[in-house]
C-alpha cells in the first residue's frame, strides 16, 4: 500500500511534543533531533519514508518531504545518496533537490560519492547547485574518462562553483573538442579574461546556441578587442536570438565599441543591430550617423535609428525626427512620437498635440505618453479631451504633468471606469494621488 504522505505527515511520525506556552490539549509536530540521534533505527526509517514520499504524484507531498529531509540534515544524506541508485528519474531529481536544500553539510559525503560511477552525474549536479569549492579538486579529476553526459554534468558543476583554478583545465579540454558547449557555458559563468580565445573561437560555430553562449561569455568580460569578432559573428548568423545576444554584448563593451559600430551602420546585413547597440551605449558620437539614417528615405532602419536617438536623448536629433514624422509613414510616426518623449524637447509639443488626433490609435497613444513625459502644463486641456475620447495613455500623462486643474476630469474618469474597467479606474486613482502629492509639496 502506498503511504499518503500528505495526510500523515512525516514530522508527526518522527515525534510529537507539547509546545511550551500552548494549550496542553494541542500538539504540534516537530522534529526531535536529539531523540533522532539517539535512535538510529527510527531516523533511518523516517528517511526511507520521506524518500518514498518523493515518489508521490502530489506536488505538496514532495515539497513537504524535501522540507523535512532538510530538517533532518546530514544524517539523511547517506540514504539519499543510496536512493539515487534505485529510484526512477523523477525521484532522482527530487533527491537532488533535497540534498541541495540540506546544503554544504552534505558536501563531504557527496565528494566521496563522486567515486561511484553509477551516481556520478547526480552527485556532480548536486555539488554544482550547492556551489562549495571543496568539491573542485575531485570534480576536476572527473572531467576525463567519463561518459559524455557525466562529463557534461561535471563541467556544468565546475562552472556553477566558479573557482578560477579550473579555467586553464577547461580551456585545454575545449581544444580537445569534447563537451564544447558546456565548457563555453561554464567559462561564461566565470567571466575570466583567460577564456577570451575560447569565446571568440566559439563565435565561429554554425550552432546558434554555441554562438549565444560565446557572446554571453564575452559580455561578462566586455573586452573592446572582441568588438570585431562579435560584429563578424553578427554578419554570419541568421539566428535572431544569437543576433540579439551579440547586440547586447556589444552594448556592454560600451564606448570603446562605438567607432566600429558606426562603421557597421553602412552594412545592410547588420546595421539595424548596430543602431540598437549604439542607442544602448548612449554615446553622442553616434548622433550624426543616426540622424543621417533618419533623414534617408531609402534606409530600411530609420525606425531603429529613431529609437536609438531617443535612448541617447540629445536635442540635436529633434529637427530631423520632426521632419521625418511629416512624411506620413505610420510605422515611423509611431516610433518618432515615442522617441520625442524620451528627448523631452518642448519644440516637439505642437507636433505631439497634433498627433493626438492622428487616425492611427498607436500614434495617438504614443503622443499622449510623450506629452506626459515632457511635462508642459499648457497641454493639460488637450490631454483631458484626449482622455475623454478614449486615449487611455492620457490618464497617466496627466498624472505625470501634475497639474491640479486635471483632477476634476480625472475624478469623472474614475467614476466612469469604476464598474467598466478596473485597470483604468486604478490608473485614474494613481494619477489623482500623484497630482495631490505634488500639490502638498
pLDDT at residue 422, rounded to an integer = 93
63 located within any domain: no
Residues contacting 248, CB < 8 A, separation 6+: 215, 219, 277, 280
Asked whether residue 293 falls in the same domain as residue 341, the answer is yes
- Beta partners for 28? 17
Cα of 112 vs its chain's centroid, Å: 35
When pLDDT is averaged across residues 208-224 and rounded to a whole number, the result is 97
More confident residue, 18 or 351: 351
Q: What angle do CA 216, 221, 223 make, to 5 degrees?
A: 110
Domain hosting residue 423, numbered range:
383-441
State how far the Cα of 154 lies from the Cα of 189, in Å rounded to an integer.
14
194: in domain? no
Name the residue with cell 581544444.
175
Residue 296's domain is classified under what CATH number? 1.25.10.10
Q: What is the pLDDT of residues 381-418, one digit of tens each?
A: 999 999 999 999 999 999 999 999 999 999 999 999 98
Domain count for the chain, please give it: 2
Q: Is the pLDDT of residue 258 over 80?
A: yes
Nearest alpha-carbon partner for 363 in 411, 388, 315, 326? 326
Is residue 151 in some structural domain? no
Per the rule left: phi > 0, alpha: psi between -120 and 50, beta: everything else, 172 is: alpha
Q: Is residue 296 part of a domain?
A: yes
In this structure, is residue 41 part of a structural domain? no
Do the Cβ atoms of 265 and 271 come closer than 8 Å?
yes
397 located within any domain: yes
What is the model's pLDDT at position 5?
A: 37
Q: How confident is the model over 310-335, as a mean pLDDT?
A: 96
Mean pLDDT of 282-303: 96
Contact 90, 51 (CB under 8 A): no
> CA–CA separation, 349 vs 331, rounded Å?
20
CB 240 within 8 A of CB 211: no
pTM (2 d.p.):
0.82
Asked if residue 130 is part of any domain, the answer here is no
The β-bridge partners of 52 are none
Amino acid at each position: 500500500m502506498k503511504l499518503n504522505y500528505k495526510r500523515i505527515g512525516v514530522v508527526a511520525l518522527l515525534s510529537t511534543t507539547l509546545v511550551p506556552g500552548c494549550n496542553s490539549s494541542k500538539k504540534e509536530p516537530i522534529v526531535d533531533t536529539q531523540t533522532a540521534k539517539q535512535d538510529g533505527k527510527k531516523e533511518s526509517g523516517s528517511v526511507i519514508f520521506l524518500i518514498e514520499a518523493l515518489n508521490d504524484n502530489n506536488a505538496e507531498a514532495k515539497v513537504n518531504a524535501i522540507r523535512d529531509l532538510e530538517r533532518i540534515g546530514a544524517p539523511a544524506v547517506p540514504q539519499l545518496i543510496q536512493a539515487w541508485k534505485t529510484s526512477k528519474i523523477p525521484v532522482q531529481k527530487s533527491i537532488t533537490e533535497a540534498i541541495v536544500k540540506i546544503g554544504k553539510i552534505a558536501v563531504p559525503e557527496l565528494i566521496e560519492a563522486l567515486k561511484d560511477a553509477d551516481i556520478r552525474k547526480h552527485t556532480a549536479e548536486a555539488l554544482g547547485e550547492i556551489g562549495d569549492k571543496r568539491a573542485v579538486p575531485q570534480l576536476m579529476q572527473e572531467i576525463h574518462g567519463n561518459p559524455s553526459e557525466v562529463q557534461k554534468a561535471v563541467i556544468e558543476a565546475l562552472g556553477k562553483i566558479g573557482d578560477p583554478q579550473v579555467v586553464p583545465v577547461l580551456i585545454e579540454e575545449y581544444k580537445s573538442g569534447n563537451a564544447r558547449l558546456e565548457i563555453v557555458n561554464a567559462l561564461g559563468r566565470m567571466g575570466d579574461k583567460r577564456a577570451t580565445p575560447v569565446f571568440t573561437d566559439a563565435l565561429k560555430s554554425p550552432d546558434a546556441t554555441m554562438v549565444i553562449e560565446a557572446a554571453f561569455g564575452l559580455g561578462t568580460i566586455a573586452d573592446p578587442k572582441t568588438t570585431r569578432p562579435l560584429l563578424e559573428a553578427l554578419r554570419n548568423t541568421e539566428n535572431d536570438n544569437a543576433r540579439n545576444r551579440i547586440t547586447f554584448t556589444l552594448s556592454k563593451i560600451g564606448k570603446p565599441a562605438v567607432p566600429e559600430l558606426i562603421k557597421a551602420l553602412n552594412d545592410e546585413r547588420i546595421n539595424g543591430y548596430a543602431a540598437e547597440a549604439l542607442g544602448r551605449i548612449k554615446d553622442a558620437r553616434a548622433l550624426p550617423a543616426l540622424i543621417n539614417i533618419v533623414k534617408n528615405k531609402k534606409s530600411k532602419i530609420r525606425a531603429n535609428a529613431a529609437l536609438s536617438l531617443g535612448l541617447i536623448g540629445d536635442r540635436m536629433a529633434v529637427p530631423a525626427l520632426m521632419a521625418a514624422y511629416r512624411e506620413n509613414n505610420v510605422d515611423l510616426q509611431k516610433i518618432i512620437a515615442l522617441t520625442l518623449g524620451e528627448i523631452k524637447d518642448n519644440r516637439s509639443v505642437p507636433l505631439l498635440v497634433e498627433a493626438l488626433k492622428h487616425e492611427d490609435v498607436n500614434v495617438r497613444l504614443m503622443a499622449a505618453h510623450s506629452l506626459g513625459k515632457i511635462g508642459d502644463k499648457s497641454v493639460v486641456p488637450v490631454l483631458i479631451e484626449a482622455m475623454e475620447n478614449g486615449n487611455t495613455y492620457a490618464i497617466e500623462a496627466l498624472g505625470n504633468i501634475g497639474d491640479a486643474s486635471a483632477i476634476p476630469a480625472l475624478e469623472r474618469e474614475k467614476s466612469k471606469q469604476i464598474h467598466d474597467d478596473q485597470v483604468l479606474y486604478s490608473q485614474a486613482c494613481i494619477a489623482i494621488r500623484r497630482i495631490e502629492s505634488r500639490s502638498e509639496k
